[in-house]
Structure 1
């Protein structure tokens, strides 16, 4: 038993130094920061960039992918080191049972890690597509600031985020970005770059989506309620959906719906028509102040970069 434990510890000692060094470095930086009083020079939180929530999720999933990639080789190394190392140090013959157990453990772990990696990579690709869409939309919406509008990105709410919020003389807009790959999904679709909006459904070249409209309405309702409480005045946010890269075909009657669908390059046309609640200059400032406070990241505990 002692020999088996010794072999396992020996195997761990070979593969663990990088992890030990990394953990020691993190602890050392924390200790030095406390001892010297070192802190980040930016004491006021910065505004959240577009796609911040997706970017954070991508970072965590990327770390999960690294762990999954390392799991199979690590388990295999320990298993085979035990199967062949124990007999070597004890002077006994190699046990076919231990070798078979090592093979099974390695294969099972590698298969599980492979399935996990496939799922992670698919999710990472979807997150990247969504992040790039939010950034592309933000680039176009930011141009509205030259026309007197305030634009905020990745507004943190209770259990979700609103991708973009626009505040200006024509009202408040809660914008949800939906990035869809271009592809013909139906033989009836005329092309693979036109999205049709009939007021109730968004049709992406044969793939019909109603949930995104309901999502945008729920988010706008939440924003309306929150701004009403925060400013002390009734506030109505207009829901909108940005679909970067797609040409929008608005059918007759769709403009009568409370939700607006647009290509980000049509941002000026989005805000050109007043909503049900236009704002004066003071109203824009009050709402923008509340959004500014909520969109700022807390950097008080961020460490100084070397």
Structure 2
């Protein structure tokens, strides 16, 4: 029987992490609940129904309190990570839906491309170029602002000071290198990759220049993308897109 396949959707890796952390939180709830029931049972038995005594009940209660405190601390930390993943998932889906509107005969959009211990949020393969896109989701109600001087990204604080974001550009560099190498290995084609960071709900001061990196919000990216000239023919685009499609293919019958 011929297997059926689908391509990965936006935020698929984050969704898996969210399920993992939801299960971890559930584990932290179950252990205190279990020892709570044991403690209550032991106290009941210590009243003379069976051979259990107050010492046994006290020990069970201490163990229960230990697990409650331990679980509370772990749940607090897990919830913080879970909220971060949910925020990231929301951002990837928002950008994914925006990028999907660009899809057509000469533009292919792919999501959640898996690498080694990381994933690339989005890729556009188009006659206008190949774009590797990393998304960062910020609350638009807080009016986040960033400054990009060409070599470093800074977050502008309310007091006017700049806080450096040293990890963003190396992250984009690594993802772009990974995709460039995969295209060369799979399609035997060498070509440049445009490195993009979409900072959702933010304003980026970059003097309107897009050189080695594109740092834009989701609305500005669409505008700049559509303004690019077509540099590749459809045959080359189809060849590259077919290879990327193999990277995001999932066997639904497996």
Fold equivalence (TM over 0.5): yes
Q: 2:144 aligns with which of 193, 196, 201?
A: 193
Partner of 1:174: 132
CA distance in 1, matches of 2:252, 2:239: 24
Partner of 2:253: 300
Q: Deviations over 1:82-106 (max 9, x none)?
A: 354266443x5x6332222122101
Q: 2:238 aligns with which of 280, 285, 304?
A: 285
Partner of 1:255: 210
Give the secondary structure class of the aligned counterpart of 2:200: coil
Q: 2:189 aligns with which of 228, 233, 236?
A: 233
- Structure 1 runs (4+) deviating above 4 angstroms are none
Q: Check the 8 A contact 1:150/1:168 in 2, yes or no.
A: yes
**1:274 positional shift:** 5.2
Q: 1:223 aligns with which of 179, 192, 197?
A: 179
Partner of 2:160: none
Partner of 1:77: 37
**1:221 positional shift:** 0.6
CA distance in 2, matches of 1:104, 1:53: 40
Partner of 2:200: 244
**1:140 positional shift:** 1.3
For structure 2, the residue ranges without an aligned partner over 5 or more in a row are 158-162
C-alpha distance 295-213 of structure 1, shift in aligned 2 (>3 A):
same
Larger Rg: 1
CA distance in 2, matches of 1:285, 1:140: 21
**1:282 positional shift:** 1.0
Aligned length: 248
Partner of 2:220: 266
Matches within 5 A, 1:1-306: 43-85=3-45, 88-90=48-50, 92=51, 95-146=53-104, 148-181=106-139, 192-206=143-157, 207-251=163-207, 255-256=210-211, 258-271=212-225, 272-273=227-228, 278-301=231-254
CA distance in 1, matches of 2:25, 2:241: 39
Q: Check the 8 A contact 1:196/1:251 in 2, yes or no.
A: no
Deviates more, 1:113-122 or 1:77-86: 77-86
Q: Deviations over 1:74-129 (max 9, x none)?
A: 11212332354266443x5x633222212210100001111111111111110111
TM-score, normalised with respect to structure 2: 0.88
* RMSD over equivalenced CA pairs, Å: 2.3
Q: Greater share of helix residues, 1 or 2? A: 1
Q: Deviations over 1:190-215 (max 9, x none)?
A: xx333222212223332431211110
Give the secondary structure class of the aligned counterpart of 1:255: coil
TM-score, normalised with respect to structure 1: 0.74
C-alpha distance 175-55 of structure 1, shift in aligned 2 (>3 A):
same
CA distance in 2, matches of 1:247, 1:147: 32
